[in-house]
Amino acid sequence: MSTTNSNNGTNNHAGDRDLGLWFLEQSRLRSARGRTDMDEDDDAPTELNTINSSGGFLVVSPDKLSAKYTSVNLHGHDVGVVQANKPAPVKRLVYYFEIYVKDAGTKGQIAIGFTSESFKMRRQPGWEANSCGYHGDDGLLYRGHGRGEAFGPTYTSGDIVGGGINYDSQEFFFTKNGAVVGTLPKDMKDMKGPLFPTIAVHSQNEEVHVNFGQQPFAFDLKEFEAQERMKQQMSIEKFSLPTNVSHGIVRSYLLHYGYEDTLNSFDMASKSTVPPVHIAQENGFDEQDIVFALNERKTLRQLIRNGEIDSALGKLREWYPQIVQDDKSATCFLLHCQKFIELVRVGALEEAVKYGRMELAKFFGLPMFEDLVQHCVSLLAYERPRESSVGYLLEESQREVVADTVNAMILSTNPNLKDSSHSCLHSYLERLLRQLTACCLERRLLSGDQGEVFHLQRVLKQL
């Protein structure tokens, strides 16, 4: 949609239609997020794998959470080894499991560790490549060969021993009776592929119970994770940000989105501690683009956030008629949808049906709008639409999507705009956050795509 603003001159940058479609896609993504789990965590082990084990030397209990060595060991190839039914999940900060040594047997040759899927199931974890193990009889750590190294104390009957993977630090760690014994680097060259929690018994009557999280751990995993996150935070706080820069970033955000009243309060409050600051152009910022039409953008945002869509449309026709001249544009579509949603919100269902027939019907059959039209109309089918699969449309954040659309469209009419695609869609703060997200994803990729999946919204909620 080409635009010619009779009040503000001609815009020679990217068309408004493209901006409207971008926000339309954001609304579509919001509906998808409402139906998926943010955590994206992979399945965690729940029991021992009785199929892939050295079954001739041990007996696994019916609940698949205990193993007992029933033979008399003769050599190093008659170990009773059993893996978990699933590999350790990698989309988290830390994975951890524990064993309780019910009986150390005649020799106490119990081991806990991690092994690959191709591990030889008649050998102790740590004796073969792609494995590591903490052994109870000598307290040694084995990783990839039969020579152990000094690591921690021995363990025996009544002890609770744990094994974990810290994906942030790329380390294995082991615990005894709730305390960390030690750590070792998780060398990507030595430990390849999915890793399975593994236990081993190797002398008569040795018996262990496994806890994959179905019971509280002896080790305080939550506190350990909190300490790891604190380490992350402390490493970030080593880098200081000049006050004038942080001030400028916040101020640019308020300007970009038309929060004029909040901006004035922010400037007043900062005068006592910070000299008046403008974003310096030599630092890559230009405040002029986002000061454009500040009062009009503030007014329209307030109207849309209050659900006064008719008033917002009236102001747009008066101030920026070119934005709404194409009644089948993405911007007009979002505004008409929001009007329909507001009618449903207040229970005016008959009026909503009439409005839908008059304004939304024109978008039926248009592929780019069809799914969201159906979502809007579906609100009428539910007695409690807020609790339905399309209830996201009744959230305040949906109003914000529409308000952001109108805000970007007005910014795009600025005849002096230097960079339409970026300065209209995203504030400087949001561009920094997008860069932060990209860096976190790249960092995770360098760790073998392992570790907690970065979600900006989750991080912001924790602040």
pLDDT at residue number 294:
93
pLDDT at residue number 275:
56
pLDDT at residue number 73:
65
Contact indicator for 338, 352 with CB cutoff of 8 Å: no
User: What value does the mean pLDDT take over residues 45-60?
Assistant: 83
Is the pLDDT higher at 17 or at 197? 197
pLDDT at residue number 253:
93
pLDDT at residue number 18:
55
For the chain, percent of residues with pLDDT exceeding 90: 57
pLDDT at residue number 443:
83
User: What value does the mean pLDDT take over residues 223-247?
Assistant: 85
pLDDT of residue 422 exceeding 70, the answer is no
Mean pLDDT of the chain: 86
pLDDT at residue number 235:
85
pLDDT at residue number 333:
95
Contact indicator for 225, 94 with CB cutoff of 8 Å: yes
pLDDT band at 39 (very low <50, low <70, confident <90, very high): very low
In terms of phi and psi (left: phi > 0; alpha: psi -120 to 50; beta: otherwise), the region of 365 is left
pLDDT of residue 71 exceeding 60, the answer is yes
Is the pLDDT higher at 392 or at 15? 392
User: What value does the mean pLDDT take over residues 2-15?
Assistant: 38
**DSSP-derived pairing of the beta strands 149-150 and 9-10:** unpaired
pLDDT of residue 75 exceeding 90, the answer is no
pLDDT of residue 432 exceeding 70, the answer is yes
The listed range with the strongest mean pLDDT (174-183, 263-272, 320-329, 446-455) is 174-183
Least confident of 81-85, 185-189, 276-280, 400-404: 276-280
Structure confidence by residue, pLDDT tens digits, 236-273: 788 887 777 888 889 889 999 999 999 999 888 877 66
For the chain, percent of residues with pLDDT exceeding 70: 85
Structure confidence by residue, pLDDT tens digits, 267-295: 888 776 655 555 455 445 556 667 889 99
The domain 48-213 is placed in CATH, from the list 1.10.260.40, 3.40.1030.10, 2.60.120.920, 2.70.98.90, at 2.60.120.920
DSSP state of 424: T
pLDDT of residue 40 exceeding 70, the answer is no
DSSP letters, 85-124, are SSPPP-SSSEEEEEEEEEE-TTT---EEEEEETT--TTS-
pLDDT of residue 434 exceeding 50, the answer is yes
pLDDT at residue number 136:
97
Contact indicator for 119, 128 with CB cutoff of 8 Å: yes
pLDDT of residue 35 exceeding 70, the answer is no
Structure confidence by residue, pLDDT tens digits, 325-341: 999 999 999 999 999 99
Could you tell me which residues come within 8 angstroms of residue 235 by beta carbon, excluding any fewer than 6 positions away?
Answer: none
Is the pLDDT higher at 144 or at 84? 84
Structure confidence by residue, pLDDT tens digits, 100-129: 999 999 999 999 999 999 898 889 999 999
Domain boundaries, the chain: 48-213, 249-425
Is the pLDDT higher at 39 or at 409? 409
Backbone angles phi, psi at 448, to 5 degrees: 75, 25
What amino acid is encoded at 280 in this protein? A
The first and second tokens of residue 131, run together, are 């494995």
Least confident of 13-17, 132-136, 276-280: 13-17
pLDDT at residue number 72:
73
Whether the model clears a pTM of 0.85, i.e. scores above it, the answer is no
pLDDT of residue 348 exceeding 60, the answer is yes
User: What value does the mean pLDDT take over residues 367-387?
Assistant: 93
Task: Report the Cα 315 to chain-centroid distance in Å.
Answer: 38
